[in-house]
């Protein structure tokens, strides 16, 4: 009896396994027929084949979700012929976007990056996801506006380095109370210079105005340095000029040690800068992105 039951169970299990295998085989044939049908007949007016159109759709949705807001996001994926997609190989990947907001507070006027050949997980594409099989690098360009930079100085990630500071060099000036730097305004100038206007709150009822011109540069490809502060005291009341000079130098030192790109990177993506320059009311960065994986929503 037990042997008969066991044989019957084994037979049922074998049938179930065979059914699943046949179902998977059928699904694979449908996918291949769909794809290779696209290779021979699915061409749009701009000669973009099915594989590229599918990748563009998936990549656009994936990239757009990385930003809190976006005015426009365009993705161009090159994969020809589409049969290469079965092996997870694409020729190039290019993304450009405008009006992008990262982590709710950091406005990027324009951003673009472009890769050469990339290896992706084809199975993930079929489920509407974009996953890398191996890390890749992309040429990157970023434009920040003066307005966007000033907005960033109100972000919690930035203000936490500027308010209620208790370092001895500052409390010695304030008489032991925490010092805060507030109302920071940045004015972009020519030749990689910028003007910083701010107020120092000594938490004793006295507000000290600050003004200085600094040089902004790239350091070790990941830090933005603020060097050579030239303190401006003409608009500062004479009685406050000495303390304004001291506090301005303290703020310059804080800024010089604050902007490390690794603090602002998206998960799985590291930015590295080759150069930056001021151009009108924009700050322009060029460099490359090290992409280990497509990040999840920030």
Instruction: Give the pLDDT band (50/70/90) at residue 132.
Output: confident
Regarding whether 145 and 268 lie in a shared domain, the answer is: yes
Regarding whether 215 and 166 lie in a shared domain, the answer is: yes
Strand partners, 69: 101
pLDDT, tens only, 54-112: 777 777 777 777 788 889 888 888 888 777 877 888 888 888 999 999 878 889 999 99
Residue 81, SS3 per DSSP: coil
> For residue 18, what are the CA distances in angstroms to 7, 8, 11, 14, 23?
16, 15, 10, 6, 9
Average pLDDT over the chain reads 81
**Per-position b or e across 216-254, b if 16+ CB within 10 A of its CB:** bbbeeebbbbbeebebbbeebeeebeebbbbbbebbbeb
- For the chain, the first-to-last Cα distance in angstroms comes to 60
Regarding whether 107 and 242 lie in a shared domain, the answer is: no
DSSP letter at 43? B
The pLDDT, as a whole number, for residue 62 is 74
Asked if 226 and 255 count as a contact pair (C-beta separation under 8 A), the reply is yes
Spatial separation of the C-alpha atoms in residues 133 and 119, rounded to whole Å: 5
Instruction: Give the pLDDT band (50/70/90) at residue 230.
Output: very high
Regarding whether 133 and 270 lie in a shared domain, the answer is: yes
The pLDDT, as a whole number, for residue 48 is 52
Instruction: Give the pLDDT band (50/70/90) at residue 194.
Output: very high
The pLDDT, as a whole number, for residue 292 is 79
> Shortest CA distance to 67 belongs to which of 31, 28, 95?
95
Regarding whether 87 and 70 lie in a shared domain, the answer is: yes
pLDDT, tens only, 135-156: 888 899 999 999 999 999 999 9
- pLDDT above 70 for 168: yes
Number of domains in the chain: 3
Spatial separation of the C-alpha atoms in residues 101 and 221, rounded to whole Å: 23
The parent domain of residue 109 ranges over 50-149+262-291
Instruction: Give the pLDDT band (50/70/90) at residue 9.
Output: very low
Q: In percent, how much of the chain has pLDDT > 70?
A: 79
Regarding whether 266 and 144 lie in a shared domain, the answer is: yes
């Amino acid at each position: 009896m037990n042997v008969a039951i066991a044989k019957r169970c084994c037979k049922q299990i074998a049938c179930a396994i065979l059914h699943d295998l046949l179902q998977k085989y059928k699904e694979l044939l449908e996918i291949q027929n769909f794809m290779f049908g696209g290779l021979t007949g699915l061409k749009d007016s701009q000669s973009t084949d099915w594989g590229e159109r599918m990748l563009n759709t998936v990549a656009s949705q994936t990239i757009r979700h990385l930003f809190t807001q976006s005015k426009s996001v365009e993705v161009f994926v090159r994969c020809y012929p589409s049969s290469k997609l079965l092996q997870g190989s694409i020729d190039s990947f290019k993304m450009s976007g405008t009006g992008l907001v990262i982590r709710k507070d950091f406005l990027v006027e324009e951003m673009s990056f472009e890769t050469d050949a990339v290896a992706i997980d084809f199975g993930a594409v079929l489920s509407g996801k974009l996953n890398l099989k191996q890390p890749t690098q992309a040429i990157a360009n970023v434009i920040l506006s003066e307005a966007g930079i000033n907005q960033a100085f109100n972000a919690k990630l930035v203000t936490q380095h500027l308010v209620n500071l208790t370092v001895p060099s500052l409390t010695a000036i304030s008489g032991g109370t925490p010092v805060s730097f507030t109302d920071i305004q940045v004015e972009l100038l020519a030749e990689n210079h910028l003007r910083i206007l701010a107020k120092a709150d000594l938490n004793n009822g006295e507000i000290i105005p600050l003004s200085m011109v600094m040089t902004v540069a790239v350091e070790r490809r990941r830090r933005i340095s603020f060097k050579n502060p030239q303190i401006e005291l003409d608009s500062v009341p004479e009685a406050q000029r000495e303390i304004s000079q001291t506090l301005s130098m303290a703020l310059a030192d804080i800024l010089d040690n604050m902007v490390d790109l690794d603090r602002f990177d998206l998960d799985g993506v590291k930015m590295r800068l080759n150069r930056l320059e001021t151009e009108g009311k924009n700050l322009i960065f060029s460099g490359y992105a090290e992409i280990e994986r497509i990040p999840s929503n920030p």
